[in-house]
Amino acid sequence: MTELYNKTSEKDKRQYLRNNMPPAEQLVWARLKGRQVEDCKFRRQYSVGAFVIDFYSVEIKLAIEIDGDSHFRDGADVYDLERQSLIEAARIQFLRFTNTQVYEELDAVIELISQMICDLRELPHPSPPLYKGREQEKPPFIRGVGGNFS
């Protein structure tokens, strides 16, 4: 495949994760699949390097992560930061939500995703990723926070 995206070496991991999606991811996927949000195509369990993103739109380079219990264990924050840095270095925008946000405010989560899709479509197409040894400007980190999305 490619050096960065959906590497063959990560295929088994992607398939396992697709076949064993947590309930919160299943809820979000039910709303994203089939271009239901802003006619934007999302893929499940898409890999960038050695990391697998829950949902990804190739068209607008948007990653969506649903953080379950594994993201709140000791050391998980360091792993998540390393992972996010690599993904952002590939000029991919990032939205992150917790399971609680999905369960309690799914419509608000989908609305934020919809708004981000619209915002990204108004921007010029991002330049290709910058590789090691070159200066790079990181895109902003966007995080769905708290219980109030307004």
What pLDDT score does 141 carry?
39
Q: What is the pLDDT of residues 21-49, one digit of tens each?
A: 999 999 999 999 999 999 999 999 998 88
What pLDDT score does 35 carry?
97
Confidence of residue 130 (pLDDT cuts 50, 70, 90): very low
What whole-number distance in Å separates Cα of residue 4 and Cα of residue 48?
A: 5
Q: Which of 4, 15, 6, 1 is nearest to 86 (CA)?
A: 4
What whole-number distance in Å separates Cα of residue 15 and Cα of residue 18?
A: 5
Sketch out the chain's domains with CATH numbers. 8-122 (3.40.960.10)
What whole-number distance in Å separates Cα of residue 83 and Cα of residue 89?
A: 10
For residues 127-148, average pLDDT: 42
Identity of the residue numbered 70: S
